[in-house]
Structure 1
Amino acid sequence: MANSTLSSLPIKPIPGSYGIPIISSIYDRLHYFYFQGHMDYFKTLMTKNNSTVVRTNMAPGAFIARNPRVVAVLDAKSFRVLFDPSKVEKKNTFIGLYIPSLTLYSGIRPLAYLDTTEQLHASLKSFAFHMLASRKSEFIPSFHKAYSSLFDTVEAKLASGPVEFNALNQSTAFDFTCNAFLGAVPSDVIGPSASNKAATWLLLQLHPVASQLSKFLPWPIEDLLLHCFQLPPFLARRDYEALEDFFSKSGKSLLNEATEKFGLSRHVALHNLIFMTQLSK
């Protein structure tokens, strides 16, 4: 009954505007990141257009995204359409309207950037679920070990003054996820800088959709540095090589299963393993 009622309703044009090419996408980006912020930007769109489904430009826009034009779905009912692969293509849209340089992934496209119709999608997805299932008993012990150590460290440091919790937590989260998936702690193998290496690699992927990273950096300079072009991948080359070596050795059994059970090449499996572990951090 409800479906027949919905099908009889008139189809309305989607409100909103993309404005002037390039100029409007930059204008919208500045409002999204700096002048209004994410929430107020979308609230303004909904109020202005009297709709929770609107046309707009999405960050980072020019000059990183080839096409910044999107239809934003801003309510729970409309959001469901994003899970329908017949209506929404998922290719290269994991972060948004751009894909980072594939050099950051040793030339492969990770699972998150593949459309459901692409050849490797099913095999990589099966491998990912297998990895989660096979290591499920390790998550709670790894979490307990990592965060018990973290809070012991915090308490000890508090005795002598303030503690930079975020930095400690970043390292702990990296140790936890790697230990849960691989049974190895990167800070023990790579050294104390392990999480910083991963953070540098992640920054080069995510900087076009990041903002206000430092209160000391004026927004015009930050926008120019982060949102107008992609930072060169070579900045993370040595860091990624260290991660690659760690995952290749520590994840040997998982990589063997990827090739034997799921028909994946070791190269594809390795770089997806790195990506998936960082994604879950």
Structure 2
Amino acid sequence: MSNDRNLEVKREVPGEYGAPILGAVLDRLDRFYGKNFFEKRRDEYGSTVFRVNMPPGPPFFPDSKVIALLDQKSFPVLFDLTQHHDRWIPELRAAAAAGYAEWDAERNKPKKSGGLLGGIVSGLFPDDPLELNPVLGKIALRFLTKTVLDKDATEGNALTETGIKLWTAPQIAPVLNAGLPAVIQEPLLHTAPIPFIIVAPEYQKIVRFFKANGERAVSLAVPHGIDPDEALHNLIFFICFNTFGGLTILWPALFKHVSDFNEFDLQAKLREEVRRAVGGGGLDAAALGGMPLLQSTVYEVMRIEPPVQSQYGRAKVDFVLETHVEAFKIKAGEMLYGYQPLVTRDPVVFEEPEKFKPRRFMGEEGQRLLEHVFWSNGPETGSPSVDNKQCPGKNFVVLVTRILFADFFLHYDSFKLGDVSISGTSSVYPCTELKKRA
């Protein structure tokens, strides 16, 4: 990253890794069972950049040493591929492929004309849902598989949210707190990789479903020189791990923040905006364009509670890294780590950053702030390409989340969620009130 303000490098990156193995274990225990892991180190060192160990660490995960980046000035270096390693394969224009919207490749967004986008919610919300997670998980799985494969995986329980999570959980367990006592969780989840054989039967079930229904989607990878079998497994990862996993974190958070907001009747405002924009027609791309409050609300949830919290990149060259107030020398080979929940609450950029403000991204000033929203591993104003590391499904995720919430308020007037509890690696969102459209 360029040192455009000529900040002087006055000190080494603060922080320490501690004794071999022991230092990493102590940091891991503090990360999972302590409080304010990043905040207290930021305050101790007087810096938003510092050295620390990140889980899982040794003995079987030996490389735990990172340089943490917690501010809006330093964090974007993780998007600069001239400074560090990362890459992704080309995006599938999933929504367009299924006819949910006609894609404008030049403008990288749905065209304003095209088919209706509604129906994502209809028939899937029970009259009195006790828990939101399974409902939203089923909606996500149905939408994604119908969109990309033209086949509903929820029919006959061909695939289920539980089955997919049985496959994904061991992959992320080493870096998550499952809520178990340390004496159980540390040796079981955080010490060594969980053998694939444990989840192999569930993964093979997923593979069989995608082989039977994914021929068209897989064929899109062939012109890019990707082997069909490799493309199949990448497609599974793209849908079941990246997109499904992200949506089942993002969507409950969206409902929870809207449910808890009490400064004004946000649900009434959203309901009125959605129904006014749709009018006597249907929910299409043009109608979505007339819902600025809904769009801003989605972006604000992505800012305050990004579905993927961590980003990594290993420095390829020596360079100078800037924060808002100082600069540090970074050496080639050092691992950089960004903790997004603090980065996107940077008070230098965002007014009242800890506060959920659904109108934050409305108007010209709100649109300018979008360059500081990084949930997709890049600025919201950027576009995914083979030359950057931004989420290939960036536009799709925003689009389908807006569709979900708009379609919800076409069918329902209001809802209320209870207190969130933790079950394993998931947050449980009980639904205490659901009022159908009058």
> Shorter-chain TM-score: which interval?
0.7 to 0.9
| Corresponding letter in the other structure for 2:238 | M
Equivalent residue number for residue 31 of structure 1: 30
Secondary structure at the counterpart of residue 68 of structure 2: strand
Equivalent residue number for residue 194 of structure 1: 160
Which of residues 254, 270, 275 in structure 1 aligns to 2:237?
275
Secondary structure at the counterpart of residue 85 of structure 1: coil
Q: Map of 1:227-266 to 2, 5 A cutoff?
A: 227-259=190-222, 261-266=223-228
Give yes or no for contact 1:16–1:56 (8 Å, CA) kept in 2. Answer: yes
For the structure 1 residues 226 and 262, does the alpha-carbon distance in structure 2 shift closer, same or farther, using more than 3 Å as the test? same
Give yes or no for contact 2:61–2:192 (8 Å, CA) kept in 1. Answer: no
**Alpha-carbon displacement from aligned partner over 1:133-168 (angstroms, at most 9, x marks no partner):** 5347269999843432221x2x1xx3xxx7233233
The answer to whether the aligner puts 1:172 opposite 2:171 as a matched pair is no
For the structure 1 residues 63 and 148, does the alpha-carbon distance in structure 2 shift closer, same or farther, using more than 3 Å as the test? farther
In 1, the alpha carbon distance for the partners of 2:217 and 2:53 equals 41
Equivalent residue number for residue 19 of structure 2: 20
Give yes or no for contact 1:60–1:68 (8 Å, CA) kept in 2. Answer: yes
Measure how far apart 1:236 and its partner are. 1.2
Aligned residues: 231
In 2, the alpha carbon distance for the partners of 1:230 and 1:135 equals 37
Give yes or no for contact 2:100–2:117 (8 Å, CA) kept in 1. Answer: no
Q: Map of 1:88-237 to 2, 5 A cutoff?
A: 88-90=84-86, 116=87, 121=88, 124-125=89-90, 128-131=91-94, 133-135=96-98, 137=100, 144-151=118-125, 153=126, 155=127, 158=128, 163-188=130-155, 190-191=157-158, 194-211=160-177, 213-214=178-179, 217-237=180-200
| Corresponding letter in the other structure for 2:97 | S
Larger deviation, residues 18-27 vs 247-256 = 247-256
Larger deviation, residues 4-13 vs 228-237 = 4-13
For the structure 1 residues 135 and 53, does the alpha-carbon distance in structure 2 shift closer, same or farther, using more than 3 Å as the test? farther
Give yes or no for contact 2:141–2:153 (8 Å, CA) kept in 1. Answer: yes
| Corresponding letter in the other structure for 1:252 | E
For the structure 1 residues 218 and 250, does the alpha-carbon distance in structure 2 shift closer, same or farther, using more than 3 Å as the test? same
| Corresponding letter in the other structure for 2:207 | E
Give yes or no for contact 1:64–1:227 (8 Å, CA) kept in 2. Answer: no
Equivalent residue number for residue 103 of structure 1: none
In 2, the alpha carbon distance for the partners of 1:133 and 1:66 equals 43
Give the root-mean-square deviation of aligned CA atoms. 2.6
Measure how far apart 1:44 and its partner are. 0.7
Secondary structure at the counterpart of residue 52 of structure 2: strand
In 2, the alpha carbon distance for the partners of 1:71 and 1:227 equals 21
Give yes or no for contact 2:51–2:68 (8 Å, CA) kept in 1. Answer: yes
Secondary structure at the counterpart of residue 145 of structure 1: coil
Which of residues 39, 46, 58 in structure 2 aligns to 1:43?
39
For the structure 1 residues 29 and 165, does the alpha-carbon distance in structure 2 shift closer, same or farther, using more than 3 Å as the test? same
Give yes or no for contact 1:142–1:176 (8 Å, CA) kept in 2. Answer: no
The answer to whether the aligner puts 1:55 opposite 2:90 as a matched pair is no
Secondary structure at the counterpart of residue 200 of structure 2: helix
**Alpha-carbon displacement from aligned partner over 1:75-116 (angstroms, at most 9, x marks no partner):** 0100011111122223xxxxxxxxxxxxxxxxxxxxxxxxx3
Equivalent residue number for residue 79 of structure 1: 75
Give yes or no for contact 2:97–2:147 (8 Å, CA) kept in 1. Answer: no
Higher strand residue share: 2
Runs of 4+ in 1 over 6 A off after TM superposition: 139-143
In 1, the alpha carbon distance for the partners of 2:225 and 2:83 equals 29
| Corresponding letter in the other structure for 1:145 | G
Query: Which gives a bigger RCO, structure 1 or 2 (Cα 8 Å, sep 6+)?
Result: 2
Give yes or no for contact 1:61–1:67 (8 Å, CA) kept in 2. Answer: yes
| Corresponding letter in the other structure for 1:149 | G
For the structure 1 residues 74 and 33, does the alpha-carbon distance in structure 2 shift closer, same or farther, using more than 3 Å as the test? same
Higher helix residue share: 1
